[in-house]
Structure 1
Amino acid sequence: MSKAAEIDIASVSKIYGTTTAVHAISLKIPAGTYCCLLGPSGCGKTSTLRMIAGHESISSGDVRLGNTVVTDLPPARRGTAMMFQSYALFPHLDLIDNVAFSLKMKGVEKDARRAKALEMLKLMQLEAYATRRPAQLSGGQQQRVALARALITDPEALLLDEPLSALDPFLKIRMRAELKKLQTSLGITFVHVTHSQEEAMALADIIVIMNDGRIEQAAHPRVVFERPATAFVARFMGDHNVISGRVISHQGNRLKLSVPAGGDFLATDVGAAGLSDTADIAIRTDHVRIGAPSEEGLGFTGSVSNVEYRGSSVKLTVNGAGVEDFTAILSDTEFFANPVKVGEAIPLSWGPEDAIVLGRLTH
Structure 2
Amino acid sequence: MGKAAEIDIVSVSKIYGATTAVDTISLKIPAGTYCCLLGPSGCGKTSTLRMIAGHETISSGDIRLGNKVVTDSPPAKRGTAMMFQSYALFPHLDLVDNVGFSLKMKGVDREQRRARALTMLKLMQMDDYATRRPAQLSGGQQQRVALARALITDPEALLLDEPLSALDPFLKIRMRAELKKLQTDLGITFVHVTHSQEEAMALADLIVVMNDGKIEQAAHPRTVFERPATAFVARFMGDHNVISGYVTTSVNDLVTFEIPGGIFLSASGEAEPGAPIDIGVRTDRVRISDAAAPGFGFTGIVANIEYRGSSVKLSVTGAGIDDFTVIVSDQAFFERPVSVGDAIPLAWDINDAIILGRLDS
Structures share fold, TM-score greater than 0.5 = yes
Residue in 2 aligned with 1:306? 304
| Structure 2 CA distance for aligned equivalents of residues 292 and 192 of structure 1 | 45
For each residue in 1:279-316, what CA deviation from the matched residue of structure 2 results, as whole angstroms up to 9, or x when unmatched?
00000000000012441111111100000011111000
1:61–1:34 distance in 2 versus 1, CA, 3 Å: same
Give the conservation status (yes or no) of the 8 Å contact 2:247–2:273: no
**Structure 1 residue 268: Cα displacement:** 1.8
**Structure 1 residue 65: Cα displacement:** 0.1
Q: What secondary structure, in the 3-state scheme, does the structure 1 residue paired with 2:23 have?
A: strand
Aligned length: 361
Residue in 2 aligned with 1:338? 336
Q: Taking every aligned residue pair, what percent have the same amino acid on both sides?
A: 76
Q: What secondary structure, in the 3-state scheme, does the structure 1 residue paired with 2:326 have?
A: strand
For each residue in 1:310-345, what CA deviation from the matched residue of structure 2 results, as whole angstroms up to 9, or x when unmatched?
111100000111111100000111111111110011
Give the conservation status (yes or no) of the 8 Å contact 1:262–1:323: no
The 5 A counterparts of 1:1-363 are 1-269=1-269, 277-363=275-361
Alignment TM-score, normalising by the size of structure 1: 0.98
Give the conservation status (yes or no) of the 8 Å contact 1:62–1:71: yes
Which region of structure 1 is more displaced relative to structure 2, 315-324 or 208-217?
315-324
Give the conservation status (yes or no) of the 8 Å contact 1:117–1:152: yes
**Structure 1 residue 254: Cα displacement:** 1.4
Gaps spanning 5+ residues in structure 1: where?
Answer: none
Which region of structure 1 is more displaced relative to structure 2, 127-136 or 259-268?
259-268
Gaps spanning 5+ residues in structure 2: where?
Answer: none
Q: What secondary structure, in the 3-state scheme, does the structure 2 residue paired with 1:113 have?
A: helix
| RMSD across aligned positions (CA) | 1.1
| Structure 2 CA distance for aligned equivalents of residues 91 and 252 of structure 1 | 68
| Structure 1 CA distance for aligned equivalents of residues 144 and 307 of structure 2 | 36
For each residue in 1:84-119, what CA deviation from the matched residue of structure 2 results, as whole angstroms up to 9, or x when unmatched?
000000111110000000000011000000000000
Which region of structure 1 is more displaced relative to structure 2, 260-269 or 120-129?
260-269
Runs of 4+ in 1 over 6 A off after TM superposition: none
| Structure 2 CA distance for aligned equivalents of residues 358 and 331 of structure 1 | 26
| Structure 2 CA distance for aligned equivalents of residues 285 and 88 of structure 1 | 41
Alignment TM-score, normalising by the size of structure 2: 0.99
Q: What secondary structure, in the 3-state scheme, does the structure 1 residue paired with 2:235 have?
A: helix
For each residue in 1:234-270, what CA deviation from the matched residue of structure 2 results, as whole angstroms up to 9, or x when unmatched?
000000000000101111321111102241111122x
What letter is aligned with 2:290? A
| Structure 1 CA distance for aligned equivalents of residues 339 and 54 of structure 2 | 55
What letter is aligned with 1:161? D
| Structure 2 CA distance for aligned equivalents of residues 65 and 254 of structure 1 | 45
For each residue in 1:161-185, what CA deviation from the matched residue of structure 2 results, as whole angstroms up to 9, or x when unmatched?
0000000000000000000000000
| Structure 2 CA distance for aligned equivalents of residues 175 and 262 of structure 1 | 50
Give the conservation status (yes or no) of the 8 Å contact 1:9–1:27: yes
Q: What secondary structure, in the 3-state scheme, does the structure 2 residue paired with 1:108 have?
A: coil
